[in-house]
Structure 1
């Protein structure tokens, strides 16, 4: 007997069990129902899965941005002040005095003098002791600017050069008046650092190679262009120690600062030697790959370089106009004293403090500004012995803005702008002075008991006015004194004084 299992047997047809239905006779409706159910379920699933195969829908059209975000069809006209019109009405003197006099008050002692003039005619519109000699502080730099532009010219540049030394294997770094040298490469787009010692060193190596020079090279420095005391005895020792000024030399890095970004604190006491040592290091690096070595240590040249000495290389400073503007913007004492000495040397005077004060006073007179009563003991304004009147400063600003000598126009960019630039960048921010923000352009002056502000402004009627306000004997640190100066200048800006 064959044993069977639970599996179907392939041999022979099986008889239907009682009650069963033959396959060929089943009813089709259960299959149709199942198919319909599957179809109903499949359609939503397909809709969910399809994007994975077909990708996202094509984006619809992007709506146009609002009008204020769209590029303009035409460029608007520049928003600038209208050209000055000589026909604009000159303010009335009583009305100007009524605006300025009440706000020009000292805070805690001392006195203010002042002068306001119409720039085109010179008509006096306000006068409070305007002819009185005063300690002007850094307003004195306006006089130095006039002397530098008249004697040197706005486009003049100072050259720092390297020449053959007095003995074989020596090169001499010769200072030519550029105290804004950079340690690295020249930066033609900058005023500070326009000429760089790394560039000068590379050019020197090229010249030495061309001459067949090899072996050891000794660097000397020639700073003989400036004479007399390097430090003015009229400067207070506290100002020197605080870094307001340093000994003067005809070449320096960063206006005799260790770091161009740090404009306070100690300074090199021998800027020429500091620059020469930096140059020697750059020359050593540039010559290392071509067989040149540089001896340790730098010495001063035993004498001035002769005019016919072979020049190996040179780099040029920013223009005098650019340096004047930097001097006025940031009130750089070292740069002012240098420009004064260079102006003196350009007119055959010694490159000393005496030469600088003499040329500034002489050029003031040559510009048509009476200078008999002017007393100068320096040309940066740091000394307390200087004496200049508010009227003389107003006349200097007139000469710069509207005078016959157009070389002086180069100084206009140097005037700090109220609330925007330079030493006026943080002023004109309160309710009593904000009317002068962006309109007042003036040189500041600050010493312990001295404040000054001299510049120009276009009044509400379009008339150009020049002014000078000087405070002496002021309470040190009294905040109201600067505010008084700023309020007076702002009053002129808003003046439709008839």
Structure 2
């Protein structure tokens, strides 16, 4: 019996020594790996920051440039997500209401949106374009209305400027550059189907858009490039214009090449789509729409008859981080501002987040941000700030939902971020030593290919395993 106890004690001691050795080795391994990373030619003119803590104790495991503000790209989304959980609540839902006012020769239709970025989205069965249009059209027909004379959208309290500071022209016309309105539709996205010729440099034609666009047009200045060159097409849509141009290249011999753009006016697109749905039910409705602030007296003369409710925040954050949907981040930022100040503006949202985290130990100077998605190259965030906010999230009752939203790359649960010259990862990982680590890793101004850099960043993060 004594021999068995002695063997068990010895085995336990060996395990503890091994865990202790592994734990002590992580900082040294990270240091060696990071030094090699910094000396790589891709980092010759770059700056990199890595901040790692023991998730349970908060003790710093590794810190290099943790207090230097860097462009975070889409890793900023973790800050927006955690802030939304804190300031809106994991069960928060958006509501889009429809109201009407009878007239002698028909009715006025008033849309009362709340900034819902999921309205008409294909990511949930309950929010699809088909479901939203059919339910709205049926609700209108059931009122006995045969003619709608005008359609209005109430944008009270919501800043209709959809482009945050620092977004570049090459981005804003494309699907990932779709900004938020108080009424969003189909994630403010549409698809363009293109056809290229068989000769290099030949013209590329527009086959169609899905859905059909209302109130604006596209023209192609694209040319055909070599096979395998991929999508190098960008939609340039000047603000307040009614025509966009597509420039760049797509490969030769393509008959149905798809790119996606950002709707310049989701409210007008919804009005056109709703008009078509109503037409099929025998109800006449204009395809145009008026977007403006409604006075209290005007609102009081309308009767609400239909309400569309979004999925809960927990579900929205899941897709926000899994698919890195910039629109969701910008809509959430404005929504937080609207709820807490009555003004749905990006600037108010930024100030709200900075003030909120400043009171929780993250100085405003470490959160020099201008948007909620990270698309702007003007953002500057420290890896220390990101880790501090991720650490805060671990202690909250909604943490499981947030953790689930983070994608897995290289076997590690983390959010990625990419804009030109910027690559980042931030998240959590449990290593062989049994410890869970919270980390943020940002690189700015690297040279060479992104794919090559990613492999080298993975090699550093592998030391957490």
- TM-score, normalisation: structure 1: 0.68
1:358 aligns with 2:351: yes
Q: Is the 8 A contact 2:271 2:287 kept in 1?
A: no
Q: Is the 8 A contact 2:330 2:371 kept in 1?
A: yes
The alpha carbon displacement at 1:283 in A equals 2.8
Q: Is the 8 A contact 1:186 1:197 kept in 2?
A: no
Q: Is the 8 A contact 1:112 1:472 kept in 2?
A: yes
* Aligned pairs (5 A) from 1:112-131: 112-131=48-67
- Shift of the 461–234 alpha-carbon distance from structure 1 to 2, 3 Å rule, reads same
- Shift of the 186–232 alpha-carbon distance from structure 1 to 2, 3 Å rule, reads closer
1:223 aligns with 2:159: no
Aligned counterpart, 1:255: 187
* Aligned pairs (5 A) from 1:95-494: 95-98=28-31, 100-102=33-35, 104-105=37-38, 106-108=40-42, 109=44, 110-165=46-101, 169-182=107-120, 187-188=125-126, 196-206=132-142, 208-209=143-144, 213-227=145-159, 229-259=161-191, 265-286=260-281, 288=282, 292-301=283-292, 303=294, 306=299, 309-400=302-393, 402-403=394-395, 405-418=396-409, 428=410, 437=411, 440-475=412-447, 477-493=449-465
Distance in 1 between residues matched to 2:89 and 2:460, nearest whole Å? 34
SS in 1 for 2:377: coil
The alpha carbon displacement at 1:303 in A equals 2.1
- TM-score, normalisation: structure 2: 0.73
Superimposed CA distance per residue, residues 11-68 of structure 1 (whole angstroms, 9 cap, x where no aligned partner)? xxxxxxxxxxxxxxxxxxxxxxxxxxxxxxxxxxxxxxxxxxxxxxxxxxxxxxxxxx
The alpha carbon displacement at 1:220 in A equals 2.3
Superimposed CA distance per residue, residues 110-155 of structure 1 (whole angstroms, 9 cap, x where no aligned partner)? 1211011001111111111111111111111111112211111111
Distance in 2 between residues matched to 1:444 and 1:365, nearest whole Å? 25
Q: Is the 8 A contact 1:443 1:453 kept in 2?
A: yes
Distance in 1 between residues matched to 2:165 and 2:123, nearest whole Å? 36
The alpha carbon displacement at 1:369 in A equals 3.3
Distance in 2 between residues matched to 1:265 and 1:184, nearest whole Å? 14
Q: Is the 8 A contact 1:184 1:199 kept in 2?
A: no
- Shift of the 395–134 alpha-carbon distance from structure 1 to 2, 3 Å rule, reads same
Aligned residues: 375
* Aligned pairs (5 A) from 1:7-46: none
SS in 1 for 2:79: helix
- Shift of the 456–183 alpha-carbon distance from structure 1 to 2, 3 Å rule, reads closer
Q: Relative to total residues, which structure has the larger strand share, 1 or 2?
A: 2
Q: Is the 8 A contact 1:175 1:225 kept in 2?
A: no
Please list every run of 5 or more consecutive structure 2 residues that lacks an aligned counterpart in the other structure: 1-18, 192-209, 212-256
Please list every run of 5 or more consecutive structure 1 residues that lacks an aligned counterpart in the other structure: 1-87, 419-427, 429-436, 494-498
The alpha carbon displacement at 1:391 in A equals 1.0
Distance in 2 between residues matched to 1:390 and 1:373, nearest whole Å? 9
Superimposed CA distance per residue, residues 240-291 of structure 1 (whole angstroms, 9 cap, x where no aligned partner)? 24443134312222211115999953221111221222223223333x2xxx
Aligned counterpart, 2:4: none
- Shift of the 167–95 alpha-carbon distance from structure 1 to 2, 3 Å rule, reads farther
The alpha carbon displacement at 1:182 in A equals 2.1
Aligned counterpart, 1:37: none
Of structures 1 and 2, the one with the larger relative CO (CA 8 A, separation 6+) is 2
Structure whose alpha-carbon radius of gyration is higher: 1
Distance in 2 between residues matched to 1:183 and 1:120, nearest whole Å? 38
